[in-house]
Structure 1
Amino acid sequence: MFTTRPLTTLLLPLLPLLLLALFSSSATPTPTPLSSLLFTLPPLLSPTAEIYLPLHPSQPDEQHQHLLPNPIPGGPEPPPHRWSTSPLNTPFPGVIIRAATEADIVATIRQANAHGVPFLATSGGHGVNRALAGLGKEGVVIDLGKMDSFRLIPRGRAGEGRYWKGDVAVVGGGMRTGDLIDWLWAAGRETTTGVCGCTGFAGVVLGGGHGLLQGRYGIGADQIVGARVVLGDGEVVEVDVAREEGRDLLWGLGGAGHNFGVVSELRVKVYEVGEGRKWWAWQIFVFAGGRLEEVYGVAARMMETQPEGVVVWSAWMMMPEIDPVKPVIAFTIFFSGSLDESRRYTEPISSLGPNGYGEGETEYPGLAGVLGAGTDDQLCQPQGAAFMRGIDLDHYDLGALRNWYNTFSEMLAANKALAGSFCMLEGYSMQGVQAVPPESKAYPHRDKKLLFAPAIFYADATNSSLAQEAVRWGEAMRTAAFGTAQRRTYVNYAFGDESLEAMYGYEPWRLEKLRGLKRKYDPENRFRFYAPIV
């Protein structure tokens, strides 16, 4: 259990004794770096910032798998739970600072440095990178969830040395993807975001930011035109494409941004939603797994003429009403336009005669719910543990897909505890992505048209042997899916044992530039808990 800042404020005269009791495991109270930090930090925070402290840090880790407190009646709402609670890839911090202002971030970082305490900033959930667990119990999580401001600037400045003629949204570093989509939609605007509603918008785009609109506008990182960044020493820098100073940092934020600072604010390109682009059609075709080669052979041909407003998103999962033994293929096509218009494009897959079928139409904000990735859907709920491994490819390799599918089937048959797992095969449109020069951002995988990922779920997040089994099966599936292709991994889906080249690019100049940025902007390696550049 945790207490919140209002409670600690009431008990401020007793805080020294309380902290000594909380953070010392020895018979004689001895201050720790973290408890010392908490003597000095509270007076420096804004009135609406919140502090969350564990009441029983001496209990085993499994008692702390959820980072956050039970709500105190009449008190502030706690930060949202993480979705991945495995001890292999979840931080178990000694304190959570829920920042309300940029100054709160600055104060926390400076005090953490003064007391030798590591820190990690978060803006949402879904982190599965094993580096997260390196934070340790003496670490601080800086939760940005309260910093979810939004404002629209008509005809904002942007572009490489020119003026961006569209609008710009100024987005707080803690804005969640689903909330941003809703804010923009209410204003008649849209931009490329991630799909899952409960992820932090900034966290997604700092790793590149694949999304349903990337065929039209490019990836999320391509939308960044400015940012305010708190560096590892607490200095605040502002970068903008119209300024020469800091342009190298802006380049790094577009694909490797977790490595350089805490982004307190982003400025991103947004676009008016045309009258004919408000509605999207979706069709789901379900096939038995034995038809894999047939289905993806057709998908490969369809990909050759895939319009910018089409996304192909398939998943392998258990669906007993179709096949009680083997996972099925749920093949979903999203189409920017009406259902009747979409049928011309989907006819090749429809003509295969699926074993199951569903269809519908929705405005763009409803698409996350179709995928089961809305903020109220199961994917966003704080339960169980999850592992993912990104697999970036440029074509459907039918032999590799069959090997991957067979390995996935073997895993499900071998351990029923992993029955909730699934595999994602994301086929976004690439016109907008490949229109951007590959050297213009840190994101390295513009030539890869497909994003695959096994997502292994299990309910008992404290079961370390099950966690290790999930890791083993995940690696076996990754190996099968790559076949003979050079390994490349979308950094937001990286588990953390991938090479730097796989995550950040095989071009020597690209890694050299990233390492130079790391030396310049984070020489003390403060930001090392998510896919770190080492």
Structure 2
Amino acid sequence: MWNFNPPPRAGGLLIAILIAVTSLAIAAFSSSSNTPHNHNPNHTHSLLTPLLSTTAQILLPNTPEFNLLLAHRWSSNPLNTPPKPSLIVIPTTESDVAQTIRHANAHNLPFLATTGGHGTTTRLSTFPRNDGGVLIYLRNLTKFELAPDGQTAVLGGGLLTGEVVRALWRAGKQTTTGICSCVSFVGPALGGGHGFLQGRFGLVADQVLGGRVVLGDGEVVDLLDTDREDLFWGLRGAGHNFGVVSQLTVRVYDVVEEKREWAYEVFTFTGERLEEVYKVAEGIVETQTADMMHWSVWAMDVDVDPDKPVILFTVVYNGPMADCQKYTHALHAASPAAYLSGVTEYPNLPMLLGADVDGPNCKPTGTAMVRAADVVDYDIDALRNWYDIFSDTVATEKGLAKSICLLEGYSVQAVQAVPAASTAFPHRRQRLLLAPFIQYDVGNSTLDAIAERWGDAMETAAFGGSERRTYVNYAHGHESLQALYGYEPWRLQKLQALKRKYDPENRFRFYAPIV
């Protein structure tokens, strides 16, 4: 059962900022398409309680647990006010979810389902505040069943990524997941899902073989039904639009002894070395194997440069350090200002990156705005322009000095081996995910407009001259449907047809909506 203890605060390592917003995702989102009626939460509580299992919980606004849960992870983007429902339901069964949805519909109440609470899209601000909204908190849906043949696992919709990784590892298994331990497993999968193992196995969504989904009218459907193949397609890439996932069945893989170790290297360079560093990075993109991935982070480090952001360039390799260094000799030769390295096992990688459940990236933040640009290659001129915009503002607006920029280079061999038309995920050709991540203290409203303009400028610079494409789990809220879901006309036509079929009342519209 979920308890109401928030994760302890922890100091970050040098590389703790590396994946501050990886897999920013919410398990599922939904709402009535009509204006909700004002209602008495106590009355709703009395009506809904008899419909739920005896272990389900309903939290009212006057309870300490209610406010603690809402503060547990939500960021405070001024354009994305955290959802403030008038009631929180914590189901323990799939039936609890279905009954809550049916009750909400019968009383014209919007509902929103979540697990990890990492969403930062401004679309979340459209969820009604203090006006009848029902939050469905899925954390107690923690089913974990490994099939007797060891090739698949059934995972509950409330499991967090770290829980899945550790449970599989204890059984000698693994699969592609998101990177942050405190993010839900299901949330990233609904938008595709990038992760350490995607070069070998594909995206998180590519591991999904089936599942059970509660639709917007409360009907529970099985994705293995032959007449649900269209929903199965849409769920893998645009799943936030169609239902609340109660469980998924996914492929899992043996952990072989020679692949237990992961080597990592972190190189720090000053900003004037940008062109040199990313010339090397261009070569890494072309040669990195399915077992290798690289990221870089731009962030202030006054010990290296008191005036401008530094470049932290990290390589992670599933194998021994000697093999990793075959790909990083040019970075060593570039004489970095700082360097660290080590070897660990897969479940420990989030801890090294500050993304374990007790780490700095898994605690409530201040104000956070995320932008994202999915691109095929590094455009060094565009990177220089982006870096200069970032650096100039950090230097003049000290309140924004916590901000970072992420440049994520996952392996794509298995991702690109999946036929592009076989799922709703539209960005298989893109090899790099570039993301400005703007942070500043809560309540500093004087920076709101500055941060928004700054984000616009950095996002535009990051794209360079490339077509605008954005990973939906990093969506800011202003993107076009084409940027999120693909430019092929047939993709949007198919998604919108699915929307009319499975959610005609548009109840799922609070996260990167198709309509």
SS at 2:326 equivalent? helix
| Among 139, 149, 156, the residue aligned to 1:145 | 139
| Among 303, 306, 319, the residue aligned to 2:285 | 303
Query: What is the CA distance between 1:38 and its match in structure 2?
Result: 2.8
SS at 1:344 equivalent? coil
| Among 431, 437, 441, the residue aligned to 1:459 | 441
C-alpha distance in structure 2 between counterparts of 1:383 and 1:428, whole Å:
26
> 2:502 corresponds to which residue?
521
> 1:85 corresponds to which residue?
76
Matches within 5 A, 1:426-445: 426-445=408-427
Query: What is the CA distance between 1:69 and its match in structure 2?
Result: 3.3
Structure 2 unaligned blocks of 5 or more: 5-36
Query: What is the CA distance between 1:34 and its match in structure 2?
Result: 5.1
Query: What is the CA distance between 1:375 and its match in structure 2?
Result: 1.1
| Among 444, 463, 480, the residue aligned to 2:461 | 480
> 1:386 corresponds to which residue?
368
User: What amino acid maps onto 2:73 in structure 1?
Assistant: R
Q: Is the 8 A contact 1:207 1:256 kept in 2?
A: yes
Query: What is the CA distance between 1:385 and its match in structure 2?
Result: 2.2
Matches within 5 A, 1:226-265: 226-240=210-224, 243-265=225-247
> 2:25 corresponds to which residue?
none
Task: Report Cα offsets for 1:215-273 as digits up to 9, x if no partner.
Answer: 00000010010010000000000012xx4210100001100000000000011111001
Instruction: Confirm or deny that 1:50 pairs with 2:57.
Output: yes
Q: Which is worse superposed, 142-151 or 408-417? A: 408-417
User: What amino acid maps onto 1:259 in structure 2?
Assistant: N
Matches within 5 A, 1:188-203: 188-203=172-187
> 1:181 corresponds to which residue?
165
Q: Is the 8 A contact 2:238 2:425 kept in 1?
A: yes
> 2:476 corresponds to which residue?
495
SS at 2:490 equivalent? helix
C-alpha distance in structure 2 between counterparts of 1:79 and 1:54, whole Å:
10
Query: What is the CA distance between 1:80 and its match in structure 2?
Result: 7.4
RMSD: 1.9
Q: Is the 8 A contact 2:317 2:324 kept in 1?
A: yes
Query: What is the CA distance between 1:434 and its match in structure 2?
Result: 0.5
> 2:17 corresponds to which residue?
none
Q: Is the 8 A contact 1:177 1:199 kept in 2?
A: yes
| Among 33, 40, 44, the residue aligned to 2:47 | 40
C-alpha distance in structure 1 between counterparts of 2:385 and 2:42, whole Å:
52
User: What amino acid maps onto 2:361 in structure 1?
Assistant: L
> 1:290 corresponds to which residue?
272
C-alpha distance in structure 2 between counterparts of 1:265 and 1:292, whole Å:
44
Q: Is the 8 A contact 1:79 1:98 kept in 2?
A: no
> 1:114 corresponds to which residue?
106
Could you say if the C-alpha distance between residues 275 and 389 of structure 1 is closer, same or farther in structure 2, counting changes exceeding 3 Å? same
| Among 71, 94, 104, the residue aligned to 1:102 | 94
> 1:208 corresponds to which residue?
192
Q: Is the 8 A contact 2:127 2:510 kept in 1?
A: yes
Q: Which is worse superposed, 220-229 or 38-47? A: 38-47
Could you say if the C-alpha distance between residues 374 and 453 of structure 1 is closer, same or farther in structure 2, counting changes exceeding 3 Å? same
Runs of 4+ in 1 over 6 A off after TM superposition: none
Q: Is the 8 A contact 2:45 2:58 kept in 1?
A: no
In the superposition, the TM-score normalised over structure 1's length comes to 0.87
C-alpha distance in structure 1 between counterparts of 2:352 and 2:454, whole Å:
28
C-alpha distance in structure 1 between counterparts of 2:67 and 2:57, whole Å:
12
Could you say if the C-alpha distance between residues 451 and 510 of structure 1 is closer, same or farther in structure 2, counting changes exceeding 3 Å? same
Query: What is the CA distance between 1:469 and its match in structure 2?
Result: 2.7
Q: Which is worse superposed, 355-364 or 132-141? A: 132-141
User: What amino acid maps onto 2:213 in structure 1?
Assistant: V
C-alpha distance in structure 1 between counterparts of 2:494 and 2:236, whole Å:
13
Q: Which is worse superposed, 360-369 or 378-387? A: 378-387
Q: Is the 8 A contact 1:216 1:432 kept in 2?
A: yes
Query: What is the CA distance between 1:340 and its match in structure 2?
Result: 2.0
User: What amino acid maps onto 2:157 in structure 1?
Assistant: G
> 1:170 corresponds to which residue?
154
Instruction: Confirm or deny that 1:354 pairs with 2:336.
Output: yes
User: What amino acid maps onto 2:67 in structure 1?
Assistant: P
Q: Which is worse superposed, 183-192 or 94-103? A: 94-103
Q: Is the 8 A contact 1:283 1:358 kept in 2?
A: yes
Task: Report Cα offsets for 1:312-368 as digits up to 9, x if no partner.
Answer: 011000111110110000000001111122111111211111010000001011111
Query: What is the CA distance between 1:383 and its match in structure 2?
Result: 3.1
User: What amino acid maps onto 1:211 in structure 2?
Assistant: G
User: What amino acid maps onto 2:100 in structure 1?
Assistant: T
Query: What is the CA distance between 1:414 and its match in structure 2?
Result: 2.6
Instruction: Confirm or deny that 1:313 pairs with 2:304.
Output: no
Could you say if the C-alpha distance between residues 48 and 469 of structure 1 is closer, same or farther in structure 2, counting changes exceeding 3 Å? farther
Q: Which is worse superposed, 462-471 or 301-310? A: 462-471
C-alpha distance in structure 2 between counterparts of 1:526 and 1:463, whole Å:
34
Q: Is the 8 A contact 2:262 2:346 kept in 1?
A: yes
Q: Is the 8 A contact 1:168 1:269 kept in 2?
A: yes
SS at 2:327 equivalent? helix
User: What amino acid maps onto 2:101 in structure 1?
Assistant: I
Q: Is the 8 A contact 1:125 1:198 kept in 2?
A: no
| Among 388, 406, 430, the residue aligned to 1:448 | 430
Q: Is the 8 A contact 2:41 2:60 kept in 1?
A: no
| Among 414, 418, 429, the residue aligned to 2:396 | 414
Task: Count residues with an aligned counterpart.
Answer: 478
**Identity across matched positions, percent:** 53
Query: What is the CA distance between 1:303 and its match in structure 2?
Result: 1.4
C-alpha distance in structure 1 between counterparts of 2:505 and 2:44, whole Å:
19
Q: Which protein is bigger by CA-based radius of gyration?
A: 1
Task: Report Cα offsets for 1:54-105 as digits up to 9, x if no partner.
Answer: 129xxxxxxxxx99435xxxxxxx5871241234222121121111111111
